[in-house]
A and B are shown apart, each in its own frame.
Chain A
Amino acid sequence: MNSIILQVNGLSKQYKDVKALDNLDLQVEQGTVFGLLGPNGSGKTTTLGILLGVIKQKSGNYSWFGNNDATENRKKIGALLETPNFYPYLSAVRNLEIVAKIKNIDNPTSQIESVLKEVNLLERKNSKFRTFSLGMKQRLAIASTLLGDPEILVLDEPTNGLDPQGIAEIRELILKIAKNDKTIIIASHILDEIEKVCSHVAILKFGKLIKQGTIDEIIGDENYIIVASKDMIKMTQIIDSNENIDVFKASERELIIKVDKDMTAEDVNQFFFDKGLVLSQLKVYTQSLETQFLEIIK
Chain B
Amino acid sequence: MLHLLKIEYKKLRHYSTFWVMLIIYGVMVPSAIFGFAQLELPPLLNGSDKLHFPHTWNFVTYAASIFNMLLGILVVLIVTNDFNFRTFKQNIIDGLSRGQVITAKFLMVFVLALVVALYTVLMALLFGFLYSDEIVSVFENFYFVGIYFIQTLGYFTLAFLLAILLKKPALSIVIYAVLFIFKFIFYFVLGEIGSQFIPMNIFADLTPFPVLQEQIAMLNTEQKEHFDLLISQPIRTVVAIGYITIFVLLSGFILKKRDL
Q: How far is the CA of A22 from the CA of B209 in the complex (A)?
A: 61
Q: Write out the residue numbers on chain A whose beta carbons fall within 8 Å of the beta carbon of B91.
A: 102
Quick one: given A54-B259, A55-B259, A98-B10, are A75 and B89 in contact (CB under 8 Å)? no
Closest-by-CB residue of B relative to A147 is B94
Q: Write out the residue numbers on chain A whose beta carbons fall within 8 Å of the beta carbon of B11.
A: 87, 90, 98
Q: Is the CB of A81 within 8 A of B10?
A: no
**Which of A49, A52, A85: most chain B CB closer than 10 A?**
A85
Nearest CB of A to B84, in Å: 9
> Is the C-beta of A71 less than 8 angstroms from some C-beta in chain B?
yes
Interface residues of A in 92-108 (CB under 8 A from B): 94, 97-99, 101-104
Q: Report how many residues on chain A are interfacial, defined by Cβ distance under 8 Å.
A: 30
* Contact among A87, A88, A89, A103 with B95 in the assembled complex (CB-CB below 8 Å): A103
- For chain B, the bracket of interface size reads 20 to 34
Q: Is the CB of A97 within 8 A of B15?
A: no
Q: How far is the CA of A192 from the CA of B209 in the complex (A)?
A: 71
Interface residues of B in 143-161 (CB under 8 A from A): none
Q: Is the CB of B85 within 8 A of A94?
A: no
* Contact among B81, B93, B259 with A74 in the assembled complex (CB-CB below 8 Å): B93
> Is the C-beta of B115 less than 8 angstroms from some C-beta in chain A?
no
> Is the C-beta of B96 less than 8 angstroms from some C-beta in chain A?
yes
Q: How far is the CA of A52 from the CA of B260 in the complex (A)?
A: 11
> Is the C-beta of A65 less than 8 angstroms from some C-beta in chain B?
no
Q: How far is the CA of A54 from the CA of B98 in the complex (A)?
A: 9
Q: Write out the residue numbers on chain A whose beta carbons fall within 8 Å of the beta carbon of B15.
A: 87, 89
> Is the C-beta of A79 less than 8 angstroms from some C-beta in chain B?
yes
Quick one: given A53-B93, A71-B96, are A86 and B87 in contact (CB under 8 Å)? yes
> Is the C-beta of B16 less than 8 angstroms from some C-beta in chain A?
yes
List the 4 closest pairs (A to B, CB-CB), nearest first.
Answer: A75-B95, A85-B90, A71-B97, A85-B86
Show the binding face of B for A, using Cβ within 8 Å.
3, 6-7, 10-11, 14-16, 81, 85-87, 89-98, 100, 257, 259-260
